Structure 1
Amino acid sequence: MPLDFALLCVGALLIVGAASIYWRDREDVARLVYGATGGLCAAIFLSAVVPRGAHALSTVLPLGLPWLGMHFRLDPLSAFFLAVVNLGGAAASVYAIGYGAHEKSPMRVLPFFPAFIAGMNAVVLADDAFAFLVAWEFMSLTSWALVISQHDRRENRAAAYIYLLMASFGTLCLLMAFGILGGATGAYDFASIRETPKDAWKSGLVLAFVILGAGSKAGLVPLHIWLPLAHPAAPSHVSALMSGVMTKVAIYGFIRFAFDLLGAPAFWWGLHPLVFGAASALVGVLFATVQSDLKKLLAYSTIENIGIIFIALGLALAFKANGQALPAALAFTAALFHVFNHSLFKSALFFGAGAVLGATGEKNIEKLGGLIRAMPQTAFVFLGACVAISALPPLNGFVSEWLVFQAILLSPSLPQWVLKLLTPAVGVALALSAALGAGAYVRAFGVVFLGRPRSPAAQQARETDKWSLGAMSGMLFLCLLAGVLPSFMIDTISPAAMDYVGGRMPSQADIAWLSIAPIAESRSSYNGLLVFGFITFSSLAAMQTIKTLWPRPVRRAPPWDCGYVDPNPATQYTASSFAQPVRRALGAIAFSVHEKLDMPLPGETRPAHFAVEIGDRFIQFIYDPLNKAVWYCAGRLNVVNYLSIQEYLALVFAALVFLLIIVAL
C-alpha cells in the first residue's frame, strides 16, 4: 500500500540520519547521505502521485501512547502536500551533493537533514493529535539544529534562539487548539474530533489558536520575525527546504484544521486569513524591496507569497460558508497551486543564492555584480525563477496568482457586506504586492548579475558545480511546465477541493487547446501554451530582424556616464539607490527608516558618509514591549525563590484551589 510504503521510507530517512554518524569518518559521507535522502524522497513522491482510487488510506502503528497507537492517513490533501515536501526534498538533496562539498562542518548538518524531511512527512501523514504534535515538534527541533549549524557567528545563534522561541509558541498554540477540540471526551484521533459536536465560540477560539500556531511557522505577519533571520542563517539547501517546503507544511496544518477538523465554517472565518494574508503580502514585498542581503530578500519574499496563499484560503472559507461550491473550489485550487508553484521557484532561487554565495562568499548584493559573465548558467536559471516569482507569463507564478484574482472577482456574489468591502481592498493589496515583487526581483537580478563586479570576490567568481546546476535547472523546467500546461495541475488538485470545499473546478482536460477556464470559457480563460509560443516566436523574430537590419558585429565599450568614462564600479547604480523611491514613498507602511548623513564642512577633505537604518515596526511596537514585560515579571517573580516553607505550602494550596475551580467550571 502507498501509505505503508511512505511510512517505511520515513523510517528509512531517520535511519539515514543516524547512519551518517556511523559513517562520519568516510570522505564520501555527504554524498552517501544526500544521495540516499534524495532517493527516498523520490520514492515517497512516487507513492503520493500514483493513483490510489477515491478512498483514503489509513493505518495505526503500535507507537506513542499505550493502547492507542499512532494513526496515519493518506487522502488527496495529504498526498498533494506529500508530493510537495518530497519533490523539494529530492531537489535539495541533489543540490546538496555538490553544495555540501563546501561545508566546513558537515556533521552539524548531515544527521539532521534527512530527519528534518522525515518530520515534515510525518506531519502531513499524521491522523491524530499526538502524532501530529510529536511530528510538528520534531520538525521544529531538527530545523533549529540546521539553523544553528553555523553557530560560530553571533547573528546565527540569535536567529536560532528567536526561531526556537517562535516554534515553541506555535506548538503551544496548536496544543491548546487540540485540547479544546478534544473536549471532555478526550478525543485525540482526527476521526473522533470530526464527530465531536462543536460550539461556535469553541470553533472561533480554535481558529484563533490555529492562525497563531500555523501562522507562526508559515511566517504570517506579525508572527514573521524569525523567518528573515533563520533562513539566511541556515545552509542554502536547508534554506530552500525551510522556505519552499516547511512553510507549506504549516499551510497544510491550517487547512487540516480550518477545512476539516472544525466542521462547517462561518463566514467570518475567512476574515482573519484575508486580513493577515494581505498584510503579509504587502509587508513582505516592501521589506524584500529594500534588502541588501540576498538570502534575506528571498526570505521576505516568502512572507509575501505566504500572504497570497492565505488570501486564497480566506476566500475559500468565505465562499464555502455561503454554500458557493464552485468559487470556493476556485480559491482553494488557487491556494494549493500557489503552494506548489512557490515550492518550485523559491527553491530554485535559494539554490541560485547558494551558488552565488559559494562562488563569491558574499550575500550582500552591493558587493556583487557582473556575475552573468562568470556564472552564465546560474544567471539564466536565476532569471527564469525571478520571472516565475514575479508572476509573469508563461511561467507558473502567473497562473496561480491569476486564479486568485479570478476568485477575488467573484466576491460580489458574497452576501455579507463586510466581505463585499474587504475583498476588493485585499485585491488592491495583492495587485500592489505583485507589482512591487516584480520590481524587487528586477533589482535583485540586475544588481547581482548585470553591470560590473563591485568587489574582488565578484571578479574571481566561477560557475557552480553540475549537481547544483542540475537541481536548479530541474526546478526551473517544472516552473515552465506548470505554467505552460497548468490544466494537469488543476485537475490533480480537484479531488482535494472536492473533499474539503464540496466542489471542483470544471475538468480542464476537456477544454480544447490546453486552455484553462476557472468558471467557464465565456467568462475568462488562459492558454499558457499559446502565450509561450507567441513569446518564443516574437523573440526569435525580433532577434532575426535586428541581425538583418543591423549587420554590424557586436562590440564592447566602456559604459557612458553622463559624458565621463569612469572605470570605478562605484559609479553604478546600487541596490539601495534602486529601492530608494519605493522606500521613501511606501516604506512608512511597513518599517521605520532612519537616515544618517555625515557631510564634511567646506574645506574638509574627508569623504561624506550616508547610512540608512531600517527597523521593523512589529518588533518595535509588539515584541520589544513584550520582551520588557517578560523581564519585568521575571524580576517580580524572583521573590518566589526566597519564600519560607509555610509560604510555599500556602502557595501550593492556593494553586490547587484555583485549578479545582477551573475544573468545576
Structure 2
Amino acid sequence: MTGAGWQLQALFVALAIYAGAALAAVFLPRHRLGFVYAASAAAASLAIAADISAFFNEVVLKEQLPVGLPGVGLHIRLDGLSAFFGFIVNVGVLMASIYGAGIKRADLSKRIEPLYPAFCAAMNAVLLADDAFGFLFFWELMSLSSWALVVSRHDDPDNRKAGYVYLLMAAGGTMALLFAFGGLAGASGGYAFDTMRASHLTPLVSALVLGAALFGAGSKAGIMPLHAWLPLAHPAAPSHVSALMSGVMTKVAIYALIRVVFDLLGDPQWWWSLPFILLGAGSAVGALLYAVQDQDLKRLLAYSTIENVGIIFAGVGLAIAFKSSNIPPAAGIALAAALIHALNHSWFKSLLFLGAGAVLHSTGTKQLDRLGGLIHRMPKTSAFWLIGALAISALPPLNGFVSEWLLFQAVLTGPVFPEPILRFLSPVLGAMLALAAGLAAACFVRAYGTVFLGRPRSPEAANAHEAPFAQTLAIGLLAVLCILGGLFGGLTAFALNPLLVEYAGAAAAINTQTGPTPFSLIAFDQGRAIYDAPTIAFFVAVSAFATMAAIHLFASKKTRRSPAWDCGFPDPSPATQYTASSYSQPLRRVYGGVVYSSTETVDMPPPGSLREGHFHIRFSDYIWRFLYVMPANALWSLSERFDLIHYLTIRRYLVLMFSTLIVLLVITATFM
C-alpha cells in the first residue's frame, strides 16, 4: 500500500456525511430539508479532493471492515479506476447539490430530500466495494434509492409506470450480476475480488460471466435493448436527480463492466469485444433516431444518454479487441476514448438535464411544441444550454469532440486486426458512429431551436423567467467544465496514462511536451494524428471577431427594422413557425418505416368547412413491443392458465401429485 491513506479516511467521512444527512432529513420538518444539499455538496467536495489525490498519487488503499458476511467482512479498495469514477460521481453530485440549493422551500419533499444523499452515498460505496457481497449490497441500495426518487411524485400514473419498469429491470440486472460474481467466485466461494483475480476460469464459465455482467451492468447503463426503463424513469425523476441518474449512475455501471472485464475476468479474448461493439453501434444510432422524434425535452435527453453509453461501449469493445490482439497502443487509445467520454458525458448531460429542469421550473412544461423564445426570457440558461448542446454534438473545441476524436483514431486502426470479423466490423462501426454524430447534431439543433429560439408557442413560454441564482450557477459551472475539458483534453488523456497502462497495456498519448504545444493531444505518434484544441479555439475566436468587426466596419450604421420572413402570410401567430415535428419530418420519413413504424394521419376539412384540421403521428417501438410487451403478455396468459390449479377438486389434486411422483421416479431411474 502506497500513500498516507488519508484519502480512504476522507471518503469514509464523506459517506458518513451523506448517511447522516439522509437520516436527519427523515426527522426534520419539511421547510428545513434544504440542508441536505449543503451537506451533500460538502461531502462531494471532500470526496473529490480524496479521489484526485488518490488518482494522481496512484495509491492502492485497502481496508477490511467487520461487517458484511460472517467470516468474510466487508472489503474496501481505493485504486486508480475507482478514484477516476469517484471523481465523475462526486463532481456530478456537487453540481446537482448546488442546483438543489435553489429549490424553493415549498417544493421540498420528504419523498425526495432524505433519499437524495442516500443515493449519492450508495454510488460512492459501489466504487469502493472490493467483494461481491458489498458490491451487490450497495448496488441494490443505489437502485432502490433511485427508484424511490423516480416514484416520488406517485400521484402521476406515468411516474408509477416508470418506477415499476425500472424496479423490474433493476431486479433482473442485480440477479444477473449475482450469477456473474458466483461464476467468478467459483466452487471455492471466494467472494473477495482479490480471490477472483487469482482464479482461472474455463472458457465456458468466462463466457457465461461476461454475458451475465453485460446484462446486469448493461441494463443499468441503459444499453439497447436493455434500455426500456431509461426513457421512462429519467423524465419522471426530479431534474437534479435525472442529472445524477443520466450523467453519473450510468457511469457506475460502466465502472462495473470495466472492473469485471479488465480486472476480474482475466486475459480477454477477441470475441468478447463483439457484443460491446455491436450493442454500442446499434445503441448510438437507434437511440438518436428516437431522440430526434420525441416531443418531451427530458425524454429526448434520456434517449441521448443511451446513444452516449453506446459510444462508451464501442470504445470498451475496441479496447478489448486491440488488447486481445496484442496491439497495446490502439487498446490504450480506445480505452482512453471510453473513459474520457464517460467523464465528458457526465458534464454535458448533467448540464442539459439541469437546464431542462430550469426550463420546466420556469414554464411548467417539457413539451417542445409549447416552448420557444426562451432566449429572451432565460438568457443565461439558453447560453449555457447552447454550450452543452454543442458539446454533446461533438463540435470542437468543446469536450465532446475530444473523446469522439480519439475513438475514431482507434476505429481507423481497425485494418490491422488479425481477425477477419473485426476487420469487417471496424469500418462498419466507423460509419455508424459518423451517422450518430450527424444525428446528434440534428437532434440538438431541433431541441435548441424549438425551446430557445423563435416565438413563444404558449402563454407559459411567453411568461417564463430566469432560473434562481443557485441553479444558473450549477449550469454555468458545468458549461465551464465543458469548455475546459475541450481545451485541455490532451492533459486529461496524459493524466489517464497510468490507468491505461494498467488495464490496456499501453498509454494513449505521448508526453505533451513533444507536441507543438503543451496542450496537444497525440494519438499514436505526432506524424499520424494530433489535435490541438487551444489553437483551434484561437482561430475560431479570431475568425468570429474579425467577421463581426468587418460587418460593423462596412455595414450601415442606421438601425433598420422589418418583419421577419413569414412565407407570404403576415400572421403573428406562432403556429406559422417550424415545430419540432417539422424539424424531424425528413428523418421520420427516411427511417420511420424501418426503425419505429411511424404513420402519419392527416384529417383535412373539406372546402368551406370551418373546423380545424388534425395531423397525428404514431410511433411503435419494436424493441418494447417484441422484447417486453409480447413476452409479458405471454407470461400473463400462461399464469392465467395455471391459475386453474387453484380450483381443482381433492381427487384431481391427488391425481396431479401421483402423476408428478411417477414422472420424477422415471427421470431418476433414467439418469441415475
User: When the two structures are superposed, what TM-score results if normalisation uses the length of structure 2?
Assistant: 0.95
Unaligned runs of 5+ in 1: none
| Partner Cα distance (2:664, 2:138) in 1 | 33
Q: Quick one: structure 1 residues 585 and 67, their matched pair in 2 at CA, closer, same or farther if it must change by over 3 Å?
A: same
| Partner Cα distance (2:616, 2:81) in 1 | 48
The question of 1:573 aligning with 2:578 is answered: yes
| Partner Cα distance (1:611, 1:601) in 2 | 18
Alpha-carbon deviation of 1:103?
A: 6.1
Q: Would the aligned equivalents of 1:282 and 1:432 in 2 still touch at CA under 8 Å?
A: yes
Q: Would the aligned equivalents of 1:102 and 1:358 in 2 still touch at CA under 8 Å?
A: no
The aligned counterpart of 2:116 is 113
Superposed, 1:603-618 pairs within 5 Å as 603-618=608-623
The aligned counterpart of 1:530 is 535
SS in 1 for 2:64: strand
SS in 1 for 2:530: coil
- Letter of the aligned partner of 1:116 in structure 2? F
Q: Would the aligned equivalents of 1:331 and 1:404 in 2 still touch at CA under 8 Å?
A: yes
The aligned counterpart of 1:365 is 368
The aligned counterpart of 1:191 is 194
| Partner Cα distance (1:658, 1:437) in 2 | 60
The question of 1:384 aligning with 2:387 is answered: yes
The aligned counterpart of 1:10 is 15
Alpha-carbon deviation of 1:551?
A: 3.5
| Partner Cα distance (2:619, 2:287) in 1 | 14
The aligned counterpart of 2:569 is 564
- Letter of the aligned partner of 2:202 in structure 1? D
Q: Would the aligned equivalents of 1:217 and 1:250 in 2 still touch at CA under 8 Å?
A: yes
Deviations 1:344-372 (A, max 9, x none): 00000011101111110010010111110
| Partner Cα distance (1:597, 1:389) in 2 | 35
1:346 corresponds, among 346, 349, 354, to 349
Alpha-carbon deviation of 1:397?
A: 0.2
Q: Quick one: structure 1 residues 657 and 535, their matched pair in 2 at CA, closer, same or farther if it must change by over 3 Å?
A: farther
Q: For the aligned residues, what is the CA RMSD?
A: 2.1
The aligned counterpart of 2:78 is 74
Deviates more, 1:600-609 or 1:503-512: 503-512
The aligned counterpart of 1:544 is 549
Q: Would the aligned equivalents of 2:360 and 2:366 in 1 still touch at CA under 8 Å?
A: yes
The question of 1:491 aligning with 2:494 is answered: yes
Deviations 1:186-231 (A, max 9, x none): 1111111111110001111111111111111111001111111100
| Partner Cα distance (1:440, 1:190) in 2 | 42
- Letter of the aligned partner of 1:333 in structure 2? A
The aligned counterpart of 2:296 is 293
Corresponding residue pairs, total = 660
1:61 corresponds, among 37, 44, 65, to 65
Q: Quick one: structure 1 residues 565 and 654, their matched pair in 2 at CA, closer, same or farther if it must change by over 3 Å?
A: farther
Q: Would the aligned equivalents of 1:147 and 1:234 in 2 still touch at CA under 8 Å?
A: yes
| Partner Cα distance (2:42, 2:578) in 1 | 45
- Letter of the aligned partner of 1:384 in structure 2? I
Q: Quick one: structure 1 residues 67 and 372, their matched pair in 2 at CA, closer, same or farther if it must change by over 3 Å?
A: same
Q: Would the aligned equivalents of 2:200 and 2:266 in 1 still touch at CA under 8 Å?
A: no
Alpha-carbon deviation of 1:597?
A: 1.7
Superposed, 1:316-331 pairs within 5 Å as 316-331=319-334
Q: Quick one: structure 1 residues 651 and 173, their matched pair in 2 at CA, closer, same or farther if it must change by over 3 Å?
A: farther
| Partner Cα distance (2:657, 2:136) in 1 | 35
SS in 2 for 1:442: helix
Q: Would the aligned equivalents of 2:510 and 2:524 in 1 still touch at CA under 8 Å?
A: no
Deviations 1:263-282 (A, max 9, x none): 00110000000000001001
| Partner Cα distance (1:550, 1:657) in 2 | 97
Deviates more, 1:10-19 or 1:77-86: 10-19
Deviations 1:520-568 (A, max 9, x none): 1100100000011111111111111111111324444332213332111
Q: Would the aligned equivalents of 2:18 and 2:121 in 1 still touch at CA under 8 Å?
A: yes
The question of 1:509 aligning with 2:508 is answered: no
| Partner Cα distance (1:549, 1:507) in 2 | 47
Alpha-carbon deviation of 1:651?
A: 9.7
The aligned counterpart of 1:408 is 411
Q: Would the aligned equivalents of 1:558 and 1:567 in 2 still touch at CA under 8 Å?
A: no
Q: Would the aligned equivalents of 2:510 and 2:522 in 1 still touch at CA under 8 Å?
A: no
| Partner Cα distance (1:168, 1:388) in 2 | 34
The aligned counterpart of 1:144 is 147
Q: Would the aligned equivalents of 2:17 and 2:39 in 1 still touch at CA under 8 Å?
A: no
Q: Quick one: structure 1 residues 482 and 13, their matched pair in 2 at CA, closer, same or farther if it must change by over 3 Å?
A: same
Superposed, 1:408-447 pairs within 5 Å as 408-447=411-450
The aligned counterpart of 1:172 is 175
Alpha-carbon deviation of 1:648?
A: 9.0
The aligned counterpart of 1:482 is 485
| Partner Cα distance (1:39, 1:55) in 2 | 23
The aligned counterpart of 2:136 is 133
- Letter of the aligned partner of 1:524 in structure 2? A
| Partner Cα distance (1:477, 1:578) in 2 | 29
Q: Quick one: structure 1 residues 366 and 183, their matched pair in 2 at CA, closer, same or farther if it must change by over 3 Å?
A: same
| Partner Cα distance (2:659, 2:522) in 1 | 66
The aligned counterpart of 2:90 is 86
| Partner Cα distance (1:577, 1:446) in 2 | 12
Q: Quick one: structure 1 residues 198 and 505, their matched pair in 2 at CA, closer, same or farther if it must change by over 3 Å?
A: same
Q: Would the aligned equivalents of 2:88 and 2:248 in 1 still touch at CA under 8 Å?
A: yes
Q: Quick one: structure 1 residues 579 and 236, their matched pair in 2 at CA, closer, same or farther if it must change by over 3 Å?
A: same
Q: Would the aligned equivalents of 1:488 and 1:508 in 2 still touch at CA under 8 Å?
A: no
| Partner Cα distance (1:508, 1:390) in 2 | 28
The aligned counterpart of 2:207 is 204
Q: Would the aligned equivalents of 1:369 and 1:453 in 2 still touch at CA under 8 Å?
A: yes
- Letter of the aligned partner of 2:97 in structure 1? S
Q: Give the percent of matched residue pairs that are identical in Structure 1 and Structure 2.
A: 45
Q: Quick one: structure 1 residues 103 and 637, their matched pair in 2 at CA, closer, same or farther if it must change by over 3 Å?
A: farther
Alpha-carbon deviation of 1:135?
A: 0.7
The aligned counterpart of 2:246 is 243
Q: Quick one: structure 1 residues 548 and 594, their matched pair in 2 at CA, closer, same or farther if it must change by over 3 Å?
A: same
Q: Would the aligned equivalents of 1:405 and 1:427 in 2 still touch at CA under 8 Å?
A: yes
- Letter of the aligned partner of 1:366 in structure 2? D
Q: Quick one: structure 1 residues 41 and 608, their matched pair in 2 at CA, closer, same or farther if it must change by over 3 Å?
A: same
| Partner Cα distance (1:654, 1:80) in 2 | 59
- Letter of the aligned partner of 2:538 in structure 1? G
1:306 corresponds, among 299, 309, 325, to 309
- Letter of the aligned partner of 1:619 in structure 2? W
SS in 2 for 1:150: coil
| Partner Cα distance (2:633, 2:477) in 1 | 48
| Partner Cα distance (2:268, 2:96) in 1 | 37
Deviations 1:310-341 (A, max 9, x none): 00000000001111111101100110000000
Alpha-carbon deviation of 1:259?
A: 1.0
Q: Quick one: structure 1 residues 370 and 658, their matched pair in 2 at CA, closer, same or farther if it must change by over 3 Å?
A: farther
1:602 corresponds, among 581, 603, 607, to 607
- Letter of the aligned partner of 2:258 in structure 1? I
Q: Quick one: structure 1 residues 166 and 43, their matched pair in 2 at CA, closer, same or farther if it must change by over 3 Å?
A: same
| Partner Cα distance (2:659, 2:208) in 1 | 30
Q: Would the aligned equivalents of 1:151 and 1:157 in 2 still touch at CA under 8 Å?
A: yes
Deviations 1:382-438 (A, max 9, x none): 001000000000100001000000000011111000000011101100000001100
Q: Would the aligned equivalents of 1:269 and 1:317 in 2 still touch at CA under 8 Å?
A: yes
| Partner Cα distance (1:297, 1:95) in 2 | 21
